[in-house]
Amino acid sequence: MHQRPEYNVELKKPTLKLSAFPKEIWPEGCKVAALQKALLPLFSTNFMREKWVITYQQSEIELGLDQGEVVAGELSEPLAEIELELKSGNTADLLALAALIGQNGGLRQGGLSKAARGYHLAKGNPVRESRPLPVFKAAPKATVEQAMEGILALALDQWQYHEELWVRGDKAVRLSVLQAVEAVRQTLVLFGGLIPRKASTELRALLTDLLPALEQKGADAQAVCYSPAYLKCKLALTSWLATQQWKPFIDEKAQKKLDGSFKRFADIMLGRTAADLKEAFGQPLDEDGFRDQLARLKRQIISFHMLAGAYSHEEYSPYINGWLELQQAIIQQQHAWEDSARQHAVMMDAFWLNGKVK
């Protein structure tokens, strides 16, 4: 989803004519004629557009079907996408229409705009690299509610980015898609004490139903990502965020808590997360014991990434890495390393305020 100004001008030939745009869009002192002479084409988008204007519920929505290609020099890639533009009305109607269109399958939410694809081709179409789950950085003095929205947006961005890589043939990033979905689920758990469960019942059910398909080692990206259930889940999350679907379930008392300091909330939840892991790994475990606790460990490592951003990289990185080393030892079944990694992790000093876990 994007919200941005857009200017459309008619061209007699496929060359950008800056003087055709409204004069008020240019910064003061901008010499448009000089800028025109300096322009060099990097890529082109060549496509045929069919469009319809649809009245859906209380809104007017333009549906555009674009088919063609993006070209940069000798490189190109096919273009086939549906765009929905809200002409008047509300976002909820637009998302509901998207969900209706997606019921028959064969569609997914695109993660790259035409321009993004063009710029990438212009750079020589380099391999897109997987990226690790980042630590969420909240704005100074962010509220709990603002941080929750930001964390879910971060998780959705991770999901969308790695989905794009997966459908383009990078099989290894399936696990990154799975981690992003788990990050959404874990975020709902973290804030579950403030957001009533009934506010996210459908979303949580859709996320849970999606896991088996993503957990299969040989899962086919095209089959999964273009399935109706997959799109329905992503659109449900997008809608939950974009229209703040938790709001009708929040009373005045709960809203006051959501308006509280995220930093204070994060410190409390960091302590609870560490205590949970200390309970799980505080005593020696056999091989089955380590396997049984792996899912729990993965979830809480996600929690650390979502909560630790109020502190510096130098403060949180050694702590998170200690738990990541234990996770790696369990996954790789490095039995000689597991217990030493466990002991190191549970003995690490807390980095957050009032964070000494006894």
pLDDT of residue 21 exceeding 60, the answer is yes
The mean pLDDT value for 350-354 works out to 90
In the chain, where are the structural domains located?
18-123, 144-256, 263-347
Residue range 171-194: average pLDDT?
A: 98
Is-contact 307 190, C-beta < 8 A?
yes
Q: Which residues pair with 76 in a beta bridge?
A: 71
* Residue-level pLDDT at 1: 63
Closest CA to 206 of 250, 240, 251: 240
pLDDT of residue 15: 83
- pLDDT on residue 111: 87
Summarize pLDDT for 281-328 with one digit per residue, the tens. Answer: 999 999 999 999 999 999 999 999 999 999 999 999 999 999 999 999
Q: Which residue has the higher pLDDT, 312 or 40?
A: 312
Q: Starting at the edge strand that comes first in sequence, how are the strands of the sheet with 44-56 ordered?
A: 44-56, 59-72, 75-88
Predicted confidence at residue 79, as pLDDT, reads 96
The residue-averaged pLDDT of 148-165 equals: 98
pLDDT grade, residue 358 (50/70/90)? very low
Task: Say what the pLDDT of residue 313 is.
Answer: 96
Which pLDDT score, from 0 to 100, does residue 3 have? 67
Nearest to 110 by CA among 160, 171, 177: 160
How far is the C-alpha of 93 from the C-alpha of 79, rounded, in Å?
26
For the stretch 5-17, pLDDT in tens is: 677 888 888 888 8
Cα distances from 278 to residues 122, 323, 334, in angstroms, run: 50, 11, 21
> What's residue 348's pLDDT?
97
- Answer yes or no: are the C-beta atoms of 290 and 330 closer than 8 Å: yes
Rounded average pLDDT over 252-259: 97
Q: Which pTM does this prediction carry? A: 0.92
